[in-house]
Amino acid sequence: MPSHPLRVAVVCSSNQNRSMEAHSILSKRGFDVRSFGTGTHVKLPGPAPDKPNVYDFKTTYEQMYNDLVRKDKELYTQNGILHMLERNKRIKVRPERFQNCKDQFDIVITCEERVYDQVLEDLNSREQETFQPVHVINVDIQDNHEEATLGAFLICELCQCIQHTDDMENEMDELLQEFEEKSSRPFLHTVCFY
């Protein structure tokens, strides 16, 4: 069992829904957790599918919240976006891009295959300094509120199991296989080095 709490990063595209829901649940369970997005911009649903609200990663959750209230409070209350931003504001100030973070993690969990590929590309392009392993695991989670909640509990359960393994490096594949069978979701897994 690791001597320190697992350092976990949860990554989705915009650091709004899936990664923040998992961040919330993991932090309540005592994990050392951070959350990120990999997109070039933060995108939130807009009045139509082809009209998303697009923000820079430097924009705070508070600013996004105020902007959407000004645009159409009723719409963004109904579709749950304001509620989601309320939660996000309680966790941290603004979304963060994974590619801009140089901290090291034991595990990076991504919420879709495209994000997994972006994380691997970023980690593999960095100069290796400490040669510390990092396990990058993908769990496909649809980007809606219900799936984000279910996915967050699955991620939390996975992290708790990993935290209690005696030998993470050798037990990871077996553990992920059990989770695949239990959840009926495919998991991707790659080990990178810092």
Give residue-wise pLDDT tens across range 130-153: 999 999 999 999 999 999 999 999
The strand pairing partners of 134, in sequence order, are 192
Q: Where in the chain is the domain with CATH 3.40.50.2300?
A: 7-39+97-193
Q: What is the pLDDT of residues 8-52, one digit of tens each?
A: 999 999 999 999 999 999 999 999 999 999 999 999 999 999 999
Class of the domain covering 7-39+97-193: alpha beta
What pTM value is reported for the model? 0.96
